[in-house]
Amino acid sequence: MTTDDSRPARRRITLTGISSRAWEHPADRGALTALRELRGFDDVVKAFFGMWNERGFRLAYLAGAIRVDHRQYPRVYQRFTEAAATLDVAELPELYVEQSPMINGQAIGMDKPFIVITTGAVEKLDDEELRALLGHEIGHVRSGHAVYKTIMIILTRWAASLSWMPVGAITLRAIIVAMYEWWRKAELSADRAGLLAGQDPAASLRLLMKLAGGGDLSQIDTAAFLEQAAEYEGGGDLRDSIHKLGMTAWSTHPVPVARASELRRWIDAGDYGRILEGDYPRRDSDGNASVTEDVKAAADSYRQTFNTSQDPLVGLLRKFGGGAADMAGSAARGARDWANRGRGGEGETPPAPPES
């Protein structure tokens, strides 16, 4: 089993009172707002809250996995408590380790979400990388992602037999596609939470490298990996762009090289450093957050990505004018209208999903 190496321990700054808004990617919040706007989505959520909770999921892991505490997987438990303390999370979610050679983790549940990581993660990650992975999953829980992820798991697993759902097949398919888009953006948010939990950019990058190529980093070069990321994002021709769309349309996660590039951009933009200096939103101000501002930030994020992307297909679209930017603006206006309907004005936020 991989244990901590000889690297000196890093002093981590406790981010007292930090709100999940500090690490949430604008496109994460925007995609979730757009998802909630879809006709029939409210019915889906109500149906699942009425018929499902995490009890069955939790029982499955209670029966077939190892529940982590100071007696079982104490090394994992120590990294877990450290990540939670750094993110100022007082109440730890339950944590399980399941048997799988793959490096993976997930947050599951609606009323009281819990976290599951694999034996592959325990064995192949050093302490800093493991702390980043656990911080990633804590970020999912704190952002309320686990609720929608649980719905997504059930929808995709049993979509063919969900005739009892109060929405049509076409509507259900549209909801699933929108949820995939949101899920990929939620992963970018959680990557930031993992970095904040570990406060070791090199470890967060190593984690993504190991997700891409296994646990032996002696065979992998960081600079070459980032070159891969740049080639993926900007290389090739229109055929490659179309292949990328096919690769990601039904995927829950962005590809590891894209996640590495996105995290690097967040660091280089100075946002990570500002948070460590204490410049971040606090939980006690969450009630004052504006849906309109979230939607505007999401639209700005999509527009900036469109304007700076090196992808050949996006470059072709830019030649034909601001069509995609206009589409982003239209989506933002629609989401803002949805947010204002029945919520007493644009300064109020929709009800937040329950957290642990």
CB 26 within 8 A of CB 292: no
Q: 273 lies in a domain?
A: yes
The pTM of the full predicted model, rounded to 2 decimals, is 0.73
Please indicate, yes or no, if residue 195 is contained in any of the structural domains.
yes
Q: What is the pLDDT of residues 43-84, one digit of tens each?
A: 666 566 555 556 778 889 999 999 999 999 999 999 999 999
Residue 277 included in any domain: yes
Sign (positive or negative) of CA dihedral 47, 353, 27, 125: negative
**Residue 238 vs residue 126, higher pLDDT:** 126
CB 137 within 8 A of CB 186: no
pLDDT, greater one: 25 or 171? 25
Which of 31-40, 107-116, 244-253, 271-280 has the highest average model confidence (pLDDT)?
271-280
C-alpha 312/C-alpha 106 separation (Å) is 33
Q: Side-chain half-sphere of 90: how many Cα atoms within 13 Å?
A: 2
Evaluate if residue 133 carries a pLDDT over 90. Answer: yes
What is the mean predicted confidence (pLDDT) over 23-47? 69
**Total domain count, the chain:** 1
Q: Residues 17-26: pLDDT tens digits?
A: 999 999 998 8
340 part of a folded domain: no
Q: Which of 37, 98, 128, 137 is catalytic?
A: 137
Q: For residue 306, name the pLDDT band (cuts at 50, 70, 90).
A: very low
pLDDT range class, residue 328, cuts 50, 70, 90: very low
DSSP string, 216-232: -GGG--HHHHHHHHHHH
Please choose, from the candidates 185, 155, 144, the residue with its C-alpha nearest in 3D space to the C-alpha of residue 41.
155
Helix (H, G, I), strand (E, B) or coil at 123: helix
Average pLDDT value over all residues in the chain? 75
Taking only the tens place, the pLDDT of each residue in 281-290 is: 999 987 776 5
pLDDT for res 350: 35
What pLDDT, on a 0 to 100 scale, did the predictor assign at position 216?
77
In a domain, 132, yes or no: yes
Active site residue 137: yes
Structure tokens at 268: 């280089």
In a domain, 332, yes or no: no
Mean pLDDT confidence for 214-220: 77
**pLDDT of the residue at 105:** 95
Predicted confidence at residue 142, as pLDDT, reads 92
Is the pLDDT at 268 greater than 90? The verdict is yes
Q: Does residue 305 lie within any of the structural domains?
A: yes
Q: Which two tokens stand for residue 208?
A: 């993504």
Helix/strand/coil for 346 = coil
CA–CA gap between residue 280 and residue 21 (Å, rounded): 8
Element (H, E) at 117: strand 114-118
Contact yes or no for 198/208 (Cβ under 8 A): no
The confidence score (pLDDT) of residue 180 equals 74
Name residue, tokens 């007696």.
71
CA triple 120-125-129, angle to 5 deg:
135
* Domain range for 25: 20-317
Domain for residue 296, yes or no? yes
The pLDDT, as a whole number, for residue 331 is 43
Share above pLDDT 70 across residues of the chain, in percent, rounded to a whole number: 57
